[in-house]
């Protein structure tokens, strides 16, 4: 029996169905609101608006819970691998041995980019932002690879999904090498997903990079933690572009651009800049926190706060633990980690943060662990994109297989001029 919500407006009652999800989240279905009442809803930033129904990821912001296809992130982060988690997100179930072997084989087969694509890198200036290169090259993949639109056949979809997941590493590593004026390194098929990426980033033509197993495991876990997160800004962008029936490469390229922003995936770079500034300036932490609290200063505690989490971001906890383990294992003393923990302690005791339920999010410690892995700062958001790619692919597929096939087209409330007379230019004064 569907429960109804009643809206009373200018003397009339309108009954709207309430939709309840499998985790008991409830939503008023307003799809008939305008035709019944002439009203639309307004919700800047969509903080209260569900754009779709989805079965990929669930976040309980109040409890700090994150699940991919029903599996807790803490379980996947300790028991799974990034490739297996990517399969889970894209196809809905953990793979069998043969399915995982098939997926890995496809990742291996598609690790090269078309040789002509390599020349595209020559066209970028050395200081070109890696996220600009990544977005351009992800779109370019669609020029060299067969574009497909049949997303509803698992067997068939495995190849394009593997193709994109495999090539994003090669493109990311190539953009990094080009920025340093270093020769591009070809992938080595017998290496695991993350190992191969580190090899393409750091090997020399005559001396292959041998990744420390602790580094491989830490980066693999970091990618698992970034793999999906409901309708975040970049994933919603991918879904919006997918709704126009644009192909997977174009949709993902748009997602890369959305992720780039400092309020979203770019926050991990902003955190490192903030912590480095604090270490170099020796600024007292309580003084910095006072600046953050003073709106006129326009200073945010980067890596803190979240639209959905009003409790600890479970990913931040896992990354913080992983950070300590890796730095101990590698014998690294990073002053940024010390100051990050001190700053977290000061903030979590401060009423400003407590009242606004501002906690560390996924970006607060991720930059520190990437520094320990030897990843350069301007590649941090690229790593985030590599991690988020399976989530984008899964959502692109969900739009193409589950939704009504309708294009996303929000409405608005117009607040501009109503009627104006056209004046010839000589009379405009």
Rule CB under 6 A: choose which of 305, 314, 367, 390 binds ligand SDX.
305
Distance between CA atoms of residues 320 and 369, nearest Å: 8
Q: Nearest distance from residue 237's CB to ligand SDX, in Å?
A: 11
Q: Nearest distance from residue 354's CB to ligand SDX, in Å?
A: 11
347 binds ligand SDX (CB under 6 A): no
Q: Nearest distance from residue 288's CB to ligand SDX, in Å?
A: 11
232 binds ligand SDX (CB under 6 A): yes
Burial class (CB in 10 A: 0-12, 13-18, 19+), 346: middle
Q: Is 229 a catalytic residue?
A: no
Rule CB under 6 A: choose which of 83, 113, 134, 362 binds ligand SDX.
362
DSSP string, 99-149: HHHHHHHHHHHT-SPPHHHHHHGGGS-TT--HHHHHHHHHHHHHHHS----
Distance between CA atoms of residues 368 and 362, nearest Å: 12
Rule CB under 6 A: choose which of 86, 138, 216, 267 binds ligand SDX.
267
Q: Is 363 a catalytic residue?
A: yes
Distance between CA atoms of residues 248 and 231, nearest Å: 17
Cβ atoms of 323 and 337 closer than 8 Å: yes
CB nearer ligand SDX, residue 261 or residue 374: 261
Stretch touching ligand SDX by CB under 6 A, among 124-132, 206-214, 299-307, 372-380: 299-307
Rule CB under 6 A: choose which of 118, 188, 264, 329 binds ligand SDX.
264
- The contact pattern for ligand SDX, residues 306-335, with x = CB under 6 A and - = no contact, is xxx---------------------------
Sheet of strand 71-72, all strands in order from the earlier edge strand to the far edge:
57-60, 65-68, 71-72
Active-site residue (options: 220, 313, 350, 363): 363
The label of the residue with tokens 């990618």 reads 223
CB nearer ligand SDX, residue 145 or residue 313: 313
Distance between CA atoms of residues 222 and 211, nearest Å: 16
The label of the residue with tokens 């690879």 reads 145
Distance between CA atoms of residues 141 and 286, nearest Å: 48
80 binds ligand SDX (CB under 6 A): no
Which residues have a catalytic role annotated?
A: 306, 363
Residues that bind ligand SDX (CB under 6 A): 45, 229, 232, 263-264, 267, 292, 300-308, 356, 358, 361-363
């Amino acid at each position: 029996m569907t429960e109804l919500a009643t809206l009373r407006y200018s003397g009339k009652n309108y009954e709207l169905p309430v939709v309840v999800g499998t985790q008991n989240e409830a939503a008023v279905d307003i799809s008939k609101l305008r035709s019944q009442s002439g009203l639309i809803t307004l919700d800047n930033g969509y903080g209260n608006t569900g754009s779709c129904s989805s079965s990929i990821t669930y976040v309980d912001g109040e409890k700090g819970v994150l699940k991919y296809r029903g599996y807790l992130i803490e379980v996947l982060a300790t028991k799974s691998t990034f490739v297996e988690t990517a399969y889970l997100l894209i196809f809905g179930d953990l793979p069998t041995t043969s399915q995982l072997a098939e997926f890995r084989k496809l990742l291996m087969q598609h690790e090269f980019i078309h040789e002509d694509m390599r020349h595209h890198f020559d066209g970028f200036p050395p200081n070109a932002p890696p996220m600009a290169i990544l977005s351009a090259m992800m779109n370019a993949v669609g020029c060299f690879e067969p574009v497909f639109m049949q997303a509803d056949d698992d067997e068939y979809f495995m190849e394009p999904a593997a193709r994109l997941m495999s090539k994003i590493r090669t493109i990311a590593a190539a953009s990094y090498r080009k920025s340093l004026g270093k020769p591009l390194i070809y992938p080595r098929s017998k290496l695991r997903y993350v190992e191969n990426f580190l090899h393409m980033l750091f090997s020399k033509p005559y001396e292959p990079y041998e990744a420390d197993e602790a580094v491989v495991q830490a980066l693999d876990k970091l990618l698992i933690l970034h793999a999906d997160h409901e309708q975040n800004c970049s994933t919603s962008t991918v879904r919006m572009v997918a709704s126009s029936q644009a192909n997977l490469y174009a949709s993902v390229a748009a997602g890369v651009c959305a992720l780039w922003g400092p309020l979203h995936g770019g926050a991990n770079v902003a955190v490192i800049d903030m912590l480095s500034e604090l270490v170099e300036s020796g600024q007292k932490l309580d003084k910095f926190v006072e600046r953050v609290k003073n709106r006129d200063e326009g200073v945010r505690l980067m890596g803190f706060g979240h639209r959905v989490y009003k409790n600890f971001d479970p990913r931040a906890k896992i990354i913080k633990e992983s950070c300590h383990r890796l730095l101990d294992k590698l014998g690294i003393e990073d002053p940024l980690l010390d100051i990050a923990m001190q700053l977290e302690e000061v903030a979590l005791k401060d009423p400003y943060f407590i009242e606004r339920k501002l906690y560390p999010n996924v970006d607060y410690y991720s930059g520190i662990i990437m520094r320990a892995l030897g990843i350069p700062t301007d590649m941090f958001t690229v790593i985030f994109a590599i991690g988020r790619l399976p989530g984008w692919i899964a959502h692109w597929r969900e739009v193409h297989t589950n939704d009504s096939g309708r294009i996303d087209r929000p409405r608005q409330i117009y607040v501009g001029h109503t009627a104006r007379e056209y004046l010839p230019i000589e009379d405009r004064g």
